[in-house]
């Protein structure tokens, strides 16, 4: 049963119900309306203890999936809250091409972003709510992120490279947007195809073979 986003008590009850089970939280898959509706701004709907427990469970779920980010709607809770963490365990070639570097665990509450310039970069991207598939998405190379952390402290910073991609992907979830909405659909590939056919640091070989364009 879906939780009305304007009913704080129902929302808190749903979170408490989720946390009553052991292990990682179940991840909602594409097709569930909760992934297609803007989430409610966080405004104290969860008390400090419940919020901390929910964040811990989201982190556990993200690690178990495994993934580098998880938004609350992906576990069925329509709140503007996401967690991110990336160990960036990739080759030096991939690290350089994608500007991928470790991102320590952090919580983003009520995040938003805006590009800092016109430059875009495109790479294969996947989603825990669309299991088994990846597609190339062109995104701003650098963004300005504004949010609050789990302690209510303001966040206002410039983020670029792969960390910026993670922030954009998770923030999009809070607006009811999936990465496929922004993807070059001719690039859509199974995880197996990406691993065997398109394991390159950039998607240029895939673009040439599958017939799609990349940003200049």
The per-residue pLDDT for range 70-81, each reduced to its tens digit, is: 999 999 999 999
Query: How high does pLDDT run on average in the chain?
Result: 95
Show binding-site residues for Fe cation.
Answer: 127, 169, 173
Question: What is the C-alpha to C-alpha distance for residues 165 and 159, in angstroms, rounded to an integer?
Answer: 9
Q: Provide the pLDDT confidence category of residue 8 given band limits of 50, 70 and 90.
A: low
Domain locations along the chain: 8-210
Task: Examine the pLDDT at 2 and tell me if it is beyond 70.
Answer: no
Q: Provide the pLDDT confidence category of residue 200 given band limits of 50, 70 and 90.
A: very high
pLDDT at 4: 45
The dotted CATH code for 8-210 is: 3.90.45.10
Give pLDDT tens digits for 35-45. Answer: 999 999 999 99
Question: What is the C-alpha to C-alpha distance for residues 163 and 99, in angstroms, rounded to an integer?
Answer: 8
- Take residue 32 and report the two structure tokens written for it: 């569930």
pLDDT at 1: 34
- Which residue has tokens 């364009």? 213
The CA radius of gyration of the chain, in Å to the nearest whole number, is 17
Catalytic residues: 170
Identify the DSSP state of 34: G
Q: Provide the pLDDT confidence category of residue 59 given band limits of 50, 70 and 90.
A: very high
Question: What is the C-alpha to C-alpha distance for residues 149 and 152, in angstroms, rounded to an integer?
Answer: 5
- Which residue has tokens 């089970």? 21
Show binding-site residues.
Answer: 127, 169, 173
0.85 exceeded by pTM = yes
Burial of 21 (0-12, 13-18, 19+ CB in 10 A): exposed
Q: Provide the pLDDT confidence category of residue 216 given band limits of 50, 70 and 90.
A: confident
């Amino acid at each position: 049963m879906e939780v009305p986003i304007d009913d704080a008590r129902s929302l808190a009850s749903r979170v408490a119900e989720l946390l009553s089970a052991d292990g990682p939280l179940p991840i909602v898959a594409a097709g569930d309306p909760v992934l297609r509706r803007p989430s409610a701004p966080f405004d104290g709907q969860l008390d400090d203890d419940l919020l901390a427990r929910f964040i811990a469970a989201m982190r556990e779920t993200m690690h178990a999936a495994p993934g580098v980010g998880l938004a609350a709607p992906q576990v069925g809770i329509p709140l503007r809250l996401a967690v991110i963490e990336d160990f960036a365990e990739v080759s030096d070639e991939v690290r350089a091409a994608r500007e991928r570097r470790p991102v320590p665990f952090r919580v983003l509450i009520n995040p938003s972003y805006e590009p800092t310039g016109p430059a875009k970069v495109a790479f294969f991207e996947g989603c825990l709510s669309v299991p088994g598939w990846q597609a190339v998405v062109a995104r701003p190379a650098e963004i300005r992120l504004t949010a609050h952390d789990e302690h209510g402290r303001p966040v206002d910073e410039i983020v670029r490279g792969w960390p910026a991609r993670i922030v954009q992907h998770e923030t999009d979830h809070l607006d009811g947007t999936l990465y496929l909405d922004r993807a070059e659909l001719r690039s859509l590939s199974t995880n197996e195809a990406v691993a065997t056919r398109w394991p390159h640091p950039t998607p240029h070989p895939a673009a040439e073979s599958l017939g799609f364009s990349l940003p200049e």
